Structure 1
């Protein structure tokens, strides 16, 4: 396809950059020495989670809002979203004096509803899915009230606005030869690909989708059954249908599409927290997840990743980080048989302490199938790493304790 026939051009992205300049955060893009060592690529990270609403979505939303005529501004805008797009639209619409109405599914987490309202958006809860929300929006807000739709991804102004992420990245790290970008509806990757190829036509653009929601891959294969759906920690890219506009750009500009599972995404969130000291939502971590899952094709390349957002529920984040500690054997669960008499609990604690372990919690279980004069200690212990965890286990066994792996933690021979 002739690039001029695509719905968004490089000039559109440059124009968007001029329009939104000074109204969004020019987020940092820095090289990660540790992630470069781990992956074998030279890794740069663009921290879009540092935007005011903690997501790149502000860029496209603002560019769309700035394109409106006076009559469209007066009538207000409408959007359907259960997350980052809602907050981006509400924030910038309010800042520009434009009324915004956001239709969200009825089961949207309260924190997201509250955040959108606090940013100035009127929230209407309707239906069970985004498709239900969109039907209501089109019937009640667009047709009856004449409001303008600010689509989450399938709009030329949205795509051009998102493309400014790549413009900044290639100014900040011009040596980049590869971009790995999250893919949901396709707005971010299509805009970034247009921008990147306007600057460096041979630059490699790769997309990453959730294993449960490979909407772009399914569309390219003409097989919608590939999108299985279901729960995912990467809610921000859990999109069943890729945009029509964005798909045309992906066909022309994206070299490959990768898919990552939940375990890989969790690991990436944990590493970004531990190494880069940043909070990334699931969708924001999939680029790193893909690089970690299959580093060989990117070895030696200069790779740019986008942490596209940082809006993650704190309870979910805590669960992910704890699970990561278990997976790394830095948190181990041990089941230890002892005699049920004074002093034995102290002996176990002493041995673990001598080995350098830190007891997080302990449960003294007397209702077990063994001898009535015995008991079982269920102990959660913090270790430095897998080797240290094994040392703690072996030291307990060497001192005569019958010890087994508990309900969580690593396997021992």
Structure 2
């Protein structure tokens, strides 16, 4: 069934669904199940009671309900990637409250809730508890446990373990889950908390080393990825199209871009998502400033990969990496670059797991500063939450907190903190891939 464009207006939707016949309501549900971006936006704008009526009716009518709730769960995930935490929690609450929803919807909702900003996790706890109480699918217990551990609800963690065992959940893997190993609760992981600080740090590192779910990338794959990211960052760093046109440089820049794309297609074609290739190969006159800004941060991930291969020094915590300089060190577009690809090798002094811990710590603190502004003693916080001590590596710590631009992060200018968060996200993304925590390059949300 084709979606009716009129339903993209919430007023028309209300009139159609709440005042007309059951047949019309079924048609509305079918429209949302196959709807476009306008329908998704409308669904987010509906009042909570109206969404609940829509979902509940669809389930009772048993017509279009499955497609609708799956669509809504995906909406919640999309909203999470946009940082729309209120929409995430509201949609997840709605879906979890509807009886008869497919287990994969519960899984999607729990995945969203585990990623929710800290202030909303307390509300997420009750939803996770409800899911566990009615769950029969083993995997749901593992996802609910993630929420319980992150919230610090020991009772819910114990409930997850107890009920999960009853329904055949393989909860032994919880102890080797790299995320849960860093968020261990007191009740579920008391033996970890009994360790000394050095023992706990070593144990967490060993968990990360043993629990990687995918093979680590080869040195050649890392070099190909670094080459692609540096080219993307170079393209994003070009002046906006108007100065290029006025100065007469657009044709020259376009020719160089095309040459780099051809070289990458010949020698580094195994890496790159469709979205990355589409951005890199698009004509410069179609450039969008917002995407250029987002893509320009790719250079920070590329710098980490180049460091892992010994092609540059460790990138400075807050310093700037120049795309042109990195492209030259990697040999992008040259015969020397082809030779480097054929003999790609690791920097023996680069410790991927240690760097991953440090990247996570810096990324987490910058996100925490945005979500919950104010000073924080990170060591005290870690001990209170039952976490292994944070390892900030070369970053400065004063008064127990991360220093940004010479000041504790709570006192630093917002622009400086925002910049460090963007930088830290890309380095964390690179670190996870280098450790094998992400089987494929993750071009989207990176969880702290």
Length-normalised TM-score, structure 1: 0.24
Relative to its length, the structure with more strand (as a share) is 1
Bigger relative contact order (CA 8 A; separation at least 6): 1
Length-normalised TM-score, structure 2: 0.23
Relative to its length, the structure with more helix (as a share) is 2
